[in-house]
Structure 1
Amino acid sequence: MSVTLRRRKRRKLKNEINVVPYIDVMLVLLIIFMVTTPLLNLGTDINLPDSNARSLGAPKDPVVVSVYPDGALALMVEQQNQSVTREDLLARLRAIHANNPEATILVRGDGAASYQLIMDAISTINEAGVTKVSLLSRPLEAGG
C-alpha cells in the first residue's frame, strides 16, 4: 500500500525559468568577444618620414604598398591594409597593371625601415610591370 502512495505523490511544477543555461551561454559569448576584439584592429601604424617635397597630386584610386621596418609588406585594398608576401604582392600588382596600365603605385615606407627594404619593394613593383611609382611622406611640420 505504501508503494501506491508514493506513486501518487507528484512533484509540484515550478513556473520559474531556469536561467543557469543562459548564464553559461552569456559567459561563453563574453569570452569569445574578449578574444576576438583585439583581432579586429584594421589599421596599422607606420611612421612616415618627413619631407619638404611638394605634392604631385593624388592619383584616382591609388594602390598603396606599405613597407614595415621588419620587411613585412602590406597592400591597401579598399582602405584596409592586408598583409601580403612578396609573391602575393607581385601577383596582385600584375593583375592591377593588366587591368589598368596607367595605375600609379604609392609606396608608404616606415621611417624606421631600411632603405634597402623600400628599394626591394620598388623592385617587386617594377617586376610586376608597373613603371609609375611614387613615395609617400608626411609634410614637414613648421619649426620641426
Structure 2
Amino acid sequence: MWAGQSKWDRDSEPMGEINVTPLVDVMLVLLIIFMVTAPLLTQGVNVDLPDSESPAMQQNVEPLVVTIQADGQIYMQDHAIAIEQLAPRIEAMRQQKPGLPIFIRGDAKTPYGRVAEVMSLLETSGIRKVGLVTEPHR
C-alpha cells in the first residue's frame, strides 16, 4: 500500500466556486420548455364529444320552462314574455312553489350571450340550479 503524498494533494486546494455551466444549461432547457408549453395552456382544445342516449328525467312536479328562440324571443311555458318581466315573474312563481325546477330550452341558433343573459337574470332571482334542455341526437 502506498503511503506517500501524490502530486494532486500538494498542488490543488479545495474548489471554492460552483461550476455554473451545467446550471445555465439546465435553466435554458427549462426556459425553452416553459416557452413552448405556456401558449398551449391558454388555448382551447377542439373536442368532438361523443353522442349519448340518456333516459328521460322522471319528475313529480312539472318544471317551469324558459324557451329562447333563435331570434331572441323569450317564452315562459307557452307565453311570450319581455326579458324585463322574466325575473319578477319567476320570483313570484318561486314564492308560490319554492322547489319548482327551472329548465332553459335554447334554440341551436340562439346566440350564447342571450342564454347567458337569461341565466344571469335567473341568478338574480335567487335561482341557483337551472337545467338546460337538449334534444337527443338523431
Fold match, TM over 0.5?
A: yes
User: Which one of 119, 130, 136 corresponds to residue 133 of structure 1?
Assistant: 130
Q: Which residue of 2 aligns with 1:85?
A: 82
Per-residue deviation, 1:103 = 1.3
CA contact (8 A) 1:103 1:132 kept: no
CA contact (8 A) 1:72 1:83 kept: yes
TM-score of the superposed pair, with normalisation by structure 2: 0.57
Higher relative contact order (CA 8 A, sep 6+): 1
Describe the shift of the 1:62–1:69 C-alpha distance in structure 2 as closer, same or farther (beyond 3 A): same
Per-residue deviation, 1:64 = 0.3
Describe the shift of the 1:56–1:119 C-alpha distance in structure 2 as closer, same or farther (beyond 3 A): farther
Compare the two structures and name the one with the higher strand fraction. 1
Q: Which residue of 1 aligns with 2:101?
A: 104
User: Helix, strand or coil: the match of 1:129?
Assistant: coil
Aligned 1:57-76 pairs, distance under 5 A? 57-59=57-59, 60-76=61-77
CA contact (8 A) 1:71 1:117 kept: yes
Per-residue deviation, 1:58 = 4.2
Residue 72 of structure 2 aligns with an amino acid whose one-letter code is: G
> Structure 1: which 5+ runs fail to align?
1-50
User: Helix, strand or coil: the match of 1:139?
Assistant: coil
User: Helix, strand or coil: the match of 2:66?
Assistant: strand
Q: Which residue of 1 aligns with 2:54?
A: 54
TM-score of the superposed pair, with normalisation by structure 1: 0.55
Per-residue deviation, 1:111 = 0.5
Query: 1: CA distance between counterparts of 2:58 and 2:120?
Result: 22
The C-alpha deviation readout for 1:74-132, integer Å capped at 9, x for no partner, is 100xxxx1110112111110011112222111100000101111111111111111122
The C-alpha deviation readout for 1:17-52, integer Å capped at 9, x for no partner, is xxxxxxxxxxxxxxxxxxxxxxxxxxxxxxxxxx63
Number of aligned residue pairs: 87
User: Helix, strand or coil: the match of 1:135?
Assistant: strand
Quick check: which has more Rg, 1 or 2? 2
